[in-house]
Every structure is written in C-alpha cells, then in structure tokens.
Structure 1
Amino acid sequence: MLLLDSHHFGRLSLANRIVMAPMTRSRASQPGDIPNALMATYYAQRASAGLIVTEGTPISPVGRGYSLTPGIYTPEQVAGWSGVTQAVHENHGKIFVQLWHVGRRSHESIAGQTPVSASSLKDPDKVYGPLPEGGFGMIETGVPRAMTLQDIQETIEEFVNAAAHAISAGFDGVELHGAHGYLIDQFMRVASNQRNDAYGGSQHNRMRFLIEVTEAVAQRIGSDRVGLRVSPFVTEGYAQVDPEIGDLTLKALEALAPLKLAYVHFSENISRYVEMPWEYRARARRLYPNPIMVAGKYTAASAEHMLRSGLADLVAFGQPFITNPDFVARVAKGSPLTPVNYEAHSTFYGGGAEGYTDYPEADVVTAPA
C-alpha cells in the first residue's frame, strides 16, 4: 500500500505518506492565544501520521481572523508551541506549522485593528469572533484597508520571523497558507486585487507577493522546510469564481519549482468548489516535478488511487483525524473509522477535551488480514 510507504525529500523523511491536514480547532489559552498542554496531547495522539500540519497559526495580530487560534509572534506563543513539538517528537512524529495571514477575512474586534488586503474590497463573508451579546460565533467581516508597499514588505518580514520562530520552537518546517481566500490568495485573484502597482494588474504581478513570501521564508529556514498550500478550484471568501486563478497558480508553481520546496499542497473539494480536472493535475506535475500533496474528502481507497496515478506524493486527511487519532493504524489494519458526529459540530471550535482529545483508539486485534 503506497499510503504506508515512506517518503523522503531534502531533509524531510516521513514514515508514511498520510498527512494530518491543517484544521482550526480554537483551543489556544487566553489571554495571549498561547498553545497549551491540551493541544500538545491532541497533536501527540495523532503523531503516527507521516506528517502533521497544524491548524492555521497567525503570524501577527492583524493576520488573525478567527478567535482562540494560537499565534506564533510572541515569546509566550513560541514557548507554548515548543511543548507541542516536543510531545509530537517524543511520539516519533513530524510536524509543520501552517503560517497564516487571513487578510480581509477578519474583523477589527479580532485583529485589534482594521483588517488589511491587497485592495480595499469586501465580499459577504463571516468568521469566528466575539459576539456582541458575549461568547463567540460567526460574525461578518470588516472592510479592509489596502496595503501600502511598506505594509507588504513588513508582512513579508512577519512571515520570515514566524518561520524562524517555528524552527526555534522545534517544528520540522512550515506551510504557507496561500489558499482559501486568505491574504496570499487575495493578492492572486482579480476580485480582491485591483492594484495598479507592481503587485496588481497582470498575472505576473498578482503572483509577486506569493513568490516573494515563499522565497524570503525559504532563504531564512531552507526551502526543503517550506510547504505551500493553494486552492485554485475552491471559491472561499469570494462571491464569484476567478477565471484566471487556475492558470496563475500553474505559472506560480513553475516559477517556484527551482526552489524545491518540501511540497505544494492542493486543497480541494471544500466550500464552493469544482473538481480538479485530471488534465490540470497532469499539467501541474509537468510544471512542478517536486512533491505534491492533495487534500479534500479523500478516503484511503481514493488516496491510494491518487498516489498510484503518479500525480501526487502525499495525501492529507482532515476530519477523519478528528475522531480517529490512530487513523494510520486503522488504515493499515483495515479497521472501520469512527465517523464524524456532525451533531456535535460545536466541539470542532473552542471548548476543552470533549470532542478533541477524548476519542479512543480502535481495537485492531480482529482487523482483517
């Protein structure tokens, strides 16, 4: 089974090709949005994944778009993440942190200031934040401020600093969140980027921010410690489908190919989406010969088929890892999965151990041969 085969690229050596996908769980300690011992237990329980990619982790206060998410821009946050990485490594796992700047997908009550984006443009959108009556829930995003050239350079430096913090906290690498309508994606798409400077207009200009962030982070920590997530067939945070994002993404990957990143991660089949055509996958493979990861409602069977096609090297699973901390063992033994209880959806975001660290491992003794 290819899913259970090892994977080696650069200094990254994984026991298997099953990745735990990034999933926001909103358990950070308050005040300060600090990773804690409960989070360390959660990730350590799932360390049998070849690689864990953490929940989205804001690189700065203005990069924050969801309450209760752990940051990586203060000494206290870095110290908290050190406890998480130590717990994962003690269980023989590998872990990348997903570096996150949400851009316009925020509200000043979350970010502490007016959100920023490529342009001062807003689509109807909601994020998880403080409610006027108290507590947390979904609130409408604010109108962003268009970033100045100085803002852009400072944000690139924030990505670089966050990556350096990640390595000091013991992470094996970082994933840049360039998908799902967040800041990097906002620079890439026509509906959110109507700039008339070097970062707007042509496709080449609209992918400039992505390229500069990736190159700067790779230079600081090593390109084989850097992954990149993109979602050209997902329309999240936008009212309309972008007609150019598919071609622009391929051009960006072709430009990034010489860096030999740890992987490029295609997020698929969530929110409003169309299925990625096989021809597009083939074009991506031709233009980007380095490791490719895919994620989006894959089963063990469909993931195995994808690996055998040669169009992906790693497959990430999200919600199955919520209810199956021993997901890899269940796949290996053919054991049934504990299904996700969507009636308990409230435990996905916020709260304590319930619906987070209280899922048992399977009895695999009677698993089929």
Structure 2
Amino acid sequence: MSQNDALFRIKDLEVPDYYVDYYSGLAKETYNIFEKAAEAKSSLVDSSGIIEPRIAFDLADRVAKMHDIDITEPLRKLLKIHGKEISALILSKHIALGEYSQPNSTLEERLDLAVRVGLAIVTEGVTIAPLQGISAVKIKKNKDGSEYLSVSIAGPMRSAGGTESAVTMLIADHVRKTVELSKYQANSFDDETGRFVEELRIYEREASSFQFHVLDEDIVKVISNLPVELDGVDTDPYEVVNHKGMTRIKTNRVRGGALRVLNDGLIGRSKKLLKRIELYNLDGWEWLNELEGAVQTGDGEEDAAAKRMREVITGRSVLSMPNKLGGFRLRYGRACNTGFAAVGFHPVVAEILDHTIAVGTQVKINIPSKGATVSFVDSIETPIVRLK
C-alpha cells in the first residue's frame, strides 16, 4: 500500500484538517523510513534482503498480511455489517470451503488457515497467537474410522488471553461442521481424560500456575465432550507417570499451551464462553452449563504474596509485595518514549534504588499482572520516599 493509499483511507472521514495533516506526516515519514530501510537491506549486509515488517492500516489489512491471503476488502465489508466476532465465523467458513485458497490446497490446509484467520480476526491481528499459538490443525481418525479435527496448541497461545484462546476451539468446531467432519471421540484408544488430569496437576505443581483452580471432574467432562480434539506440543521438561506412550498424544511431557486453553479458557471462562456460543448460534456446547466452575487463584492478600514469591527467580529484586500499604507504586501515564507494554519511572527512582532499575529493565507489576519494560520519564512527579 502506497502513501497515497494511506491517505485514501481517511478521505471519507469527518475529521479536522489538522488531523489529516498529522496523519499525512506520519504516513510520509513512515514510507521514507521504509525506502531507506529497503535501500540498506539491498546491500545484503544483513542476513535477509527484504524488510520483514509490513505496513497495515486496519484490522482487515493486518489479518490479510499476517496470513498472505487476499481477504482485505471482503473482511472490511463484513466488519461494517457484523462486527469482528461474526465476521470471523463467516470468513473462516468461506476459507474452509475453498475460497481465497490455492486451487491445489488440501482440505487440511484450508482448515488450518480457516482456524488461524478466524482467531486473528477475534484477537484483532495484534497477537502472535494465530501464527505461533496454533502449532497445527490436522484431520485424524477415531477408532471407528470416522475423521475428526484436531487442533494442536503451543505456548504462545497465552498471548491471546483465556477467552480468545478458548474461542479457537469454537471456530475449529464451526469449520468442522462446515466440511462435515465427525466429532472427536475421547478415550477411543487410551485414557485421554485421565492423561489431561494427571498432566494438568503435574504442570501446576512443577512448571507454572494457572489463573484458575479447576476440579478434576470438570477436566474429564470437557475432554469427554469436546467435538474437536485439544492437543498440543510439549512446553516443559516434565513427564507424566501413568499415561505414557499414548496412541494419539505424541509426547510424554506436559503440554502447557493446551493445558492453559483447557484450564484458563474452556473451564475458567466457561460463563463468558457460553455468551459467545449464544452469539455464534452454535449447538453442541450445552454441556458447558454443567461445569462446577473454577476458583480464581491469588485473590487473597496472603495468596497473592505467596504466589508472587514462588514466581521470583533467585537473585531478582522484589520492590514491594502485592497490595502492600506504602509499597512501591506506579503513577500510570504515557510519554513519547513509552511504547507498547512499557511503564514510565522518574529517573530519580533509579538513583534511590542504586540503579537496580535501568532503561529496558523488565518488571512484573501487580495490576494488570503483566510484564512491562521500564522507560524513564522526567515529566511526571518525583517519587515520595518514606524514611525511617
């Protein structure tokens, strides 16, 4: 898309002239930088001779360029009418039926692309989940010979969030019905429900914590009723003990991505998921109403503090415990040097803490409980220090 195309995107919008000037300046400088980068890349000093990032201007453009598929205009039209949720289902159905695909593409390839594009639309094309969170989408066979759909999840699915990661299974079920594949039949070959129970408890104990604590009964009910197989790649060096060498599960190690979709998505956010199912008008998911439900971990003060201490890597500094009165607090704001997932500290903070914190330091903050990168902002108020 050229600079003129970028300006064409706002020609019909009712915006002040100064906004058009501002947008024009951004577009012009961006393309100038890309031209200089292309010239530098052409020297082949770098390992790659092309510029990897692409310029995108809206959701439809981002999804199309993310997957190299010509759906920009159709998706824009759908979004104007239906919004992103329903648009994701409609477009994934068209892709599964062979539209927007290569003539020689297989059914498995079309379904893989359909699920990824659907998830990309739901997550607005700003997370890595559709590309790296889904390891593979395959067609497998039940013991009776019927074909079903299997979705293999990898660790980066975590970036999508609990609800959206579970929506992946809804989209997969939607395209499964579109091409008339059978349902996944759990325990056709081995005790797959028991494997998930054991695997999830090992992951909780040895690898990492979840946002919710779920019951074994709910795990069994979900795996037994899923119309699409939830599979995954191994993410941590911990093996199951009692459910090794299974026919349809190719690894004996824990599969962190699949477990998070199960625990924090399908069970932990089952109530939100039911609203999505009603919106999508999907059938076959009524059993979610029968789940006992999940308990969110780390709600109490002692639980939150203990959880944080378990996560601290030896040698890392702890500036304050969660919810500690008078502890280390942040005044939230933005500056020109605080970008995506960044927090601004006054530079005096670094001096007070003997430069434990520097520009680029990664910190984990209590709210919203995400990692962030530190930048210095001297336009905010200086810290208040309580002395002995």
TM-score, with length taken from structure 2: 0.25
Higher percent of residues as helix: 2
Higher relative contact order (CA 8 A, sep 6+): 1
TM-score, with length taken from structure 1: 0.26
Higher percent of residues as strand: 1
Q: Which has the larger radius of gyration?
A: 2
